[in-house]
Amino acid sequence: MADLIHRMIEQLPDLEYARSSADIMESFKAGKIASLIGMEGTHFLGNSLGVLRVFAQLGVRYVTLTHTCHSAFASSNGAGAPMTAVHEGNGLTSLGEELIRELNRVGIMVDLSHTSDATMKQALNISKAPVVWTHTGARALWDHPRNVPDDILRLIGDGPGKNPGVVQSVFYPPFIGPVDSANVSRVADHIEHIADIVGRKHVGISSDFDGMYSSVEGLEDASKYPNLIVEMIERGWTDDEIKDLMGRNVMRVMDEVDVVAESLKGQLSSAAIWEKRKDLPAKWGGEGDAYYPYAVREAQKTLFPVHDEL
């Protein structure tokens, strides 16, 4: 997928690859569409943090911890798909905890869309960097598992103990209310509810146009964004607040994620492995571990510490 995106950018002159907020602004000034690379669901990692690091080198900027199924790292809210993968509890696995730390270290944004409530809470507790929900809604307004409940929204914002991330409100009709009454006003209701709890510096938008089977009346495609802007103006939002909503809040998170990654530069990469993977030893030097001579095992333990539970 990363290769496909790079090839699309090469072939389509309106697109321009972007990894940073500065890249986004340069594309905007040039009249081009800034194209970020994201990965939805950690199932694409298998059970390897090494794969994550390779994707980081390919320019991936955000990773959604789950899609509509569990993975070796985290549990999903499961809306729309059966949950068949092995997982531990209802949140992050021990390897998933390592994943959050590694995402922080390599400068990839943690996206909590699609995750279970337990995964959200645990990720927020571990992450040193701001997190994002790239496409979600307010569960208090529409009781759907894809939306974020108020008790978790209260963990986002400014102040002690809060994560300074961004919650991006989606346009997908089934997530915002009765499908037959999905309109611009209802999208704005979700934005305002989220903003009332987290603050207007911590809310954004994300259409999810590429993953929708139906659309909101008045927001059928990107050309209709002005309809939402007019709605927010009529609700009293200032020009600066609307600019923040439309993208500056997310770009601020990107910058802060980069700052955290820079601060973790001297930290060793994690070599944790999933204990349920049977084709690799869960611990170096275990009984019957004939493939790893003593010196190699000791070097592995010294250079790449593996948690005891793994």
DSSP line for 76-121? B--TTS---S--STTS--HHHHHHHHHHHHHT-EEE-TTB-HHHHH
pLDDT of residue 271: 85
Tokens of 106: 């390599």
pLDDT of residue 274: 75
The dotted CATH code for 38-282 is 3.20.20.140
Helix (H) or strand (E) holding 205: strand 203-205
C-alpha–C-alpha distance, residues 228 and 232, integer Å: 6
| pLDDT (average), residues 81-91 | 54
Measured at the CA of 115, the angle between CA 131 and CA 41, to 5 degrees, comes to: 85
C-alpha–C-alpha distance, residues 175 and 182, integer Å: 9
Percentage of the chain surpassing pLDDT 90?
74
Contact between residue 130 and residue 104 where contact means Cβ atoms under 8 Å apart: no
Of 147, 125, 268, the residue nearest 197 (C-alpha): 147
Q: What is the mean pLDDT of the chain?
A: 88
Output the pTM of the full model: 0.86
C-alpha–C-alpha distance, residues 296 and 38, integer Å: 36
| pLDDT (average), residues 201-213 | 90
pLDDT of residue 219: 95
| pLDDT (average), residues 157-177 | 96
| pLDDT (average), residues 240-255 | 98
| pLDDT (average), residues 188-214 | 94
pLDDT of residue 230: 98
pLDDT of residue 293: 42
Structure confidence at residue 272 as a pLDDT band (50, 70, 90) = confident
Q: What type of residue is 256?
A: E
C-alpha–C-alpha distance, residues 273 and 49, integer Å: 8
| pLDDT (average), residues 44-69 | 93
| Numbered ranges of CATH 3.20.20.140 in the chain | 38-282
pLDDT of residue 80: 53
Helix (H) or strand (E) holding 169: strand 166-169
Note the Cα 144 to chain centre separation in Å. 19
The strand pair at 15-17 and 109-111 is best described as unpaired
